[in-house]
Structure 1
């Protein structure tokens, strides 16, 4: 058998300060108290209806889940989501790996986004030391504590780093509790040989982090990355086992939240693939568990999809298109209409306009 490859360990990284970043969050962040952009019908009515559904869901103590894509972060919606968190309108947030990356970069440096076209051909796309170091160390430390990736990164921001156990304490835990569920993660943390100088990074703009706000207000934020999908893989510290453990923990938390979705609201904002894919597996598991408990399947939930692209030129209210129609392959439409038939609204618009309008409507509730 060939020896295992570890090519990422040879990656040469540069300081984030050397990168030309395209987005300054201080300049682009939407101010929740400002007037939302004017939108015409039917979108304005859809936003009002969504706000009413959220109010009703929270009144009956049902879940309100929001799965957002990375562009929601890049578009400056961080303060809008922070207000939804602080005011108790959302009970669970979720994103994919890129959502966590941009969130951390804004908290640390106040800037994010780079040119793939310019940097990948010269081997510099994603190869920024602080980003990969922070997220992988947060995952290593969080995995050894039984935490998820979202909470681990949010905690890293809140504490300006990690405070891992010393080697002696880790060895003692491993030797005295060899059968503990965290033993493998503790061994990974020990083997990582983290230097004290690597453990601290000062975050100058934590107020622009959704993960930080979620940790601060004890609202779950789960992260759902893919191995190799995100730039924290472009780093010598890349630790797929730690990323996998923390992401696995987050998926379990997502399933638990899904179990409370009956009578609630699920918002899929700017996530055409990750949100519907994670939703359908969690939805199935939640219903499997309910069946074992003698409970009926989840129902009476509403799904609101927010995306700027059209829905494939198909009227989804009439049913699913045939397999030879291009719209059939729009995962963000097909999955949700299958799992919430008759209870899906599609808000085709810029996510800033929808979220800003939604916050404005909820402020009056």
Structure 2
């Protein structure tokens, strides 16, 4: 037993997510009426970032033809920017082979699936300590992770399986459920203390850590397939996922797998050190190429995937 005193979370006050004002609603998500951006992209100049984008798209198309993996990594803002329907379309059309996310993505995906809304007003809620205290989110996700851990499931698979089987009112917006339905692994890479569900008494550190560790090994197993033409795309996670990818890559190379000559691309609103170093530069030093694009997710993601998907 530790000689240091711990805070007791059992007396945490919660509220129903139903009653919480949220800033993101499914009514504002990207339209289901898909429009291809192929013609738009083709007419862009063959200069600088536009040339890079067209080059990346060619690599992705070749990866699809050659049946090489296309791994999508992203943080919570891809969900909060209303892009779930487009991600799900990419899953259905077998454009995405695997998905890696941080812990916030599961939270937003769960709330969208069950309540059709997510993203609270952090500044206001922080003032009275109600930030992150949605009862359903904290209780249900933690229970699902604990039960999944007992059954040797990773974090992403456990949550996707639960949403898919429960089919809550907005489950068709859930990336986790869609991925589970189409056998696309979703791996969740948790840093304990960074997610609102860790504030709740139902949180089990062993289950959270253990299920996320399972996901790390699932993710590494996908990374080993990137060799000679695979593509890894990263949207928005500037710290956790770049570090996870670097560790997964060194693991598979250490185990004797050849993982060279693949392509990476980072899309974010600004340039960050870790994505540039750990995704764009270091991994492709032995062959392949890394790209970086600056822009808003709600614009850049539809432009990219609008040129990859069929109507």
* TM-score normalised over the length of structure 1: 0.77
- Give me the whole-angstrom Cα distance separating, in 2, the residues matched to 1:261 and 1:302: 8
2:240 is equivalent to residue 274 of structure 1: yes
Q: Distance in 2 between matches of 1:240 and 1:29?
A: 36
1:333 pairs, out of 249, 261, 276, with 276
Counterparts of 1:121 and 1:235, CA distance in 2: 18
- Cα displacement string for residues 79-115 of structure 1 (whole angstroms, at most 9, x for unaligned residues): 1111111111111101000111111110010101112
Matches within 5 A, 1:289-308: 289-290=255-256, 295=257, 297-308=258-269
Task: Tell me the SS of whatever aligns to 2:9.
Answer: helix
Alignment of 1:109 with 2:115, yes or no, is yes
Q: Which residue of 1 aligns with 2:305?
A: 359
How many equivalent residue pairs?
A: 301
1:172-227 CA-to-partner distances (Å, cap 9, x unmatched) read xxxxxxxxxxxxxxxxxxxxxxxxxxxxxx72101111101100111001011111
Q: Which residue of 2 aligns with 1:26?
A: 27
* Separation in 2, partners of 1:123, 1:244: 25
> Which residue of the partner structure matches residue 17 of structure 1?
18
1:9–1:238 Cα contact (<8 Å) kept: no
SS at match of 1:8: coil
Bigger Cα Rg: 1
Confirm whether residue 216 of structure 1 aligns to residue 169 of structure 2: no
Q: 1:159, 1:85 → 2: CA distance?
A: 18
For residues 301 and 109 of structure 2, the distance between their equivalents in structure 1, rounded to whole angstroms, comes to: 17
Supply the distance in 1 between the matched residues of 2:276 and 2:154 (Cα, whole angstroms).
28
Partner of 1:175: none
Residue in structure 2 matching 1:347, options 293, 299, 302:
293
Give the conservation status (yes or no) of the 8 Å contact 1:223–1:247.
yes
> In the alignment, does 2:197 pair up with 1:232?
yes
**Aligned partners of 1:32, 1:229: CA distance in 2, in Å?**
36
Q: Pick from 147, 172, 177: which aligns with 1:207?
A: 172
Counterpart Cα distance in 2 of 1:214 and 1:74: 18
Preserved CA contact (<8 Å) 2:265 2:292: yes
Assess, with a 3 A threshold, how the Cα gap between structure 1 residues 233 and 59 changes in structure 2: closer, same or farther.
same
Cα RMSD after superposing both structures:
2.1
Unaligned runs of 5+ in 2: none
Structure 1's unaligned 5+ residue stretches are 161-201, 312-329
Per the normalisation by structure 2, the TM-score is: 0.90
Bigger drift between 7-16 and 276-285 goes to 7-16
How far has the Cα of 1:51 moved from its partner?
A: 2.4
Residues 50 and 358 in structure 1, CA contact (< 8 A), matched pair in contact too: no
Distance 2:5 2:65 in 1: 53
The change in CA–CA distance for 1:72 and 1:30 in structure 2 (over 3 A counts) is farther
